[in-house]
């Protein structure tokens, strides 16, 4: 999937392909300037948006596989956020904690079942209750396996139901994480900082914050830079979603930024490390 960006030298549009690392080293085809675009968006967010685009474009089967991948990558995101949050109260510096986490994750990086087990344990330790939502029915596992592994051709309404289920689960868990999610966001910032340190002096770095399906409402307010809606507006009078399908439909209609606004605070590491990020 391509996304548009602008050359910092000539201001003309350049289209780039999403990279796995969220780091994009580009050369402007118009003026030849070299620049680096760092997209503050996590892999599960990119994948879910790609699944949504595939669904809207009529590629139902491809959408199922992408939504399933988004859920798996979100479980990894949750583990990273929860572990780093827990380690923030200790004596380990952030870089050391991140290195230990990366070294541990390598043991399960190629095994989705073990990753699910790590998520289940992280959820239990953080929330104090078992993740009773990790059932084949709740996750839509049978439908996913039928489509991805057995080649079934799903109807659009089936994919919409599956997408709504995945969206509602991720949205719920992000809400429970709250500001704890910023620990995983800080890990991405550390990767960006390491790449920036390696850039030649003539290369311009550009940070971009792309909107997505998971909106800032999880953090208790409107999207950054937007005024709260007037109490008499149609948006504020709309009834709250009652089920997964309504939640997904509303989010689709009101796409907005996700975690990115938390990263605008330059004191982020001070706030969320060395005891600042754990819940009471």
The total number of structural domains that make up the chain: 2
Confidence (pLDDT) at 131 = 96
**228: which 2 tokens?**
């709260």
Q: d(Cα 147, Cα 154) in Å, to the nearest integer?
A: 7
> Is there a single domain that holds both residue 63 and residue 131?
yes
Predicted pLDDT of residue 157: 92
- Residues forming a β-bridge with 228: none
- Tell me the pLDDT tens digit for each residue of 67-114: 999 999 999 999 999 999 999 888 889 999 999 999 999 999 999 999
User: Are 139 and 120 a contacting pair, CB within 8 Å?
Assistant: no
The answer to whether residue 278 sits within a structural domain is no
Question: For residues 209 and 221, which has the higher predicted lDDT (pLDDT)?
Answer: 209
Residue among 26, 22, 45 nearest 36 (CA)? 26
Q: In whole angstroms, give the CA distance from residue 39 to residue 45.
A: 11
* Whether pTM exceeds 0.85: no
Among 183, 205, 238, give the residue marking a domain's end. Answer: 183
pLDDT at residue 140 in the model: 92
The reply to whether 90 falls in a domain is yes
Place of tokens 């340190």: 197
Return the pLDDT at 253: 67
pLDDT tens digits, residue range 1-30?
788 999 999 999 999 999 999 999 999 999
Which of 225 and 189 is assigned the larger pLDDT?
A: 189
More confident residue, 117 or 258: 117
Alpha-carbon span 143 to 151, nearest angstrom: 11
**For residues 257 and 212, is the Cβ–Cβ distance under 8 A?**
yes
Q: Minimum mean pLDDT among 105-109, 227-231, 252-256: which range?
A: 227-231
Same domain, 34 and 92: no
How confident is the prediction for the chain on average, in pLDDT? 82
CA–CA–CA angle 77, 82, 84 (5° rounding): 95
Give the residues across from 37 on adjacent strands: 24, 206
**In a domain? residue 164:** yes
Q: Are 197 and 225 in the same domain? A: yes
Q: Is 73 inside a domain boundary?
A: yes
Question: 109 lies in a domain?
Answer: yes
Domain-ending residue, one of 162, 183, 204 = 183
Q: What is the mean predicted confidence (pLDDT) over 59-68?
A: 96
Comparing 269 with 24, which gets the higher pLDDT?
A: 24
pLDDT band at 255 (very low <50, low <70, confident <90, very high): low
pLDDT at position 80 is: 96
Residue 16 sits at φ, ψ, to 5 deg, of -125, 155
Q: Is 70 found in the same domain as 131?
A: yes
| Together in a domain, 106 and 161 | yes
Assigned domain for 80 exists: yes
pLDDT recorded at residue 232: 39
Are residue 139 and residue 154 in the same domain, yes or no? yes
* Residue 104 belongs to a domain: yes
Q: Residue 129 has what pLDDT?
A: 96
pLDDT beyond 50 at 261: no
Q: Which domain holds residue 25?
A: 2-42+187-272
- For residues 179 and 66, membership in a common domain is answered with yes
178 and 66 in one domain? yes
CB 140 within 8 A of CB 119: no
* Distant-in-sequence, close-in-space partners of 62: CB < 8 Å, separation ≥ 6: 54
What is the mean predicted confidence (pLDDT) over 31-60? 93
Is 47 contained in some domain?
A: no
Which residues are 39's β-sheet partners? 208
């Amino acid at each position: 999937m391509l996304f548009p960006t602008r050359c910092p030298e000539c201001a003309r549009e350049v289209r780039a392909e999403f990279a796995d690392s969220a780091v994009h080293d580009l050369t402007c085809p118009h003026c030849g300037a070299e620049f680096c675009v760092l997209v503050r968006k996590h892999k599960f967010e990119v994948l879910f948006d790609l699944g949504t685009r595939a669904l809207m474009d009529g590629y139902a089967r491809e959408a199922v596989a992408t939504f399933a991948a988004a859920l798996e990558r979100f479980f990894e995101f949750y583990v990273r956020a929860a572990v780093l949050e827990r380690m923030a109260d200790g004596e380990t510096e952030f870089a050391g904690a991140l290195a230990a986490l990366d070294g541990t994750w390598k043991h399960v990086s190629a095994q989705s079942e073990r990753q699910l087990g790590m998520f289940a344990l992280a959820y239990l330790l953080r929330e104090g209750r078992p993740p009773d939502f990790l059932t084949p029915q709740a996750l839509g596992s049978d439908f996913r396996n039928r489509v991805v592994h057995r080649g079934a051709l799903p109807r659009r309404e089936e994919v919409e139901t599956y997408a709504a289920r995945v969206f509602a689960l991720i949205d719920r868990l992000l809400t429970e994480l709250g500001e704890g999610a910023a620990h995983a966001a800080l890990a991405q910032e550390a990767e960006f900082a390491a790449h920036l340190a390696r850039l030649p002096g003539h290369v311009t770095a550009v940070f971009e914050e792309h909107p997505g399906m998971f909106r800032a409402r999880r953090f208790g307010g409107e999207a950054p830079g937007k005024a709260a809606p007037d109490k008499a507006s149609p948006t504020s009078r709309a009834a709250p979603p009652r089920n997964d399908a309504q939640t997904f439909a509303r989010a689709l209609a009101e796409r907005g930024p996700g975690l990115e606004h938390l990263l605008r605070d330059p004191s982020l590491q001070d706030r969320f490390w060395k005891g600042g990020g754990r819940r009471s």
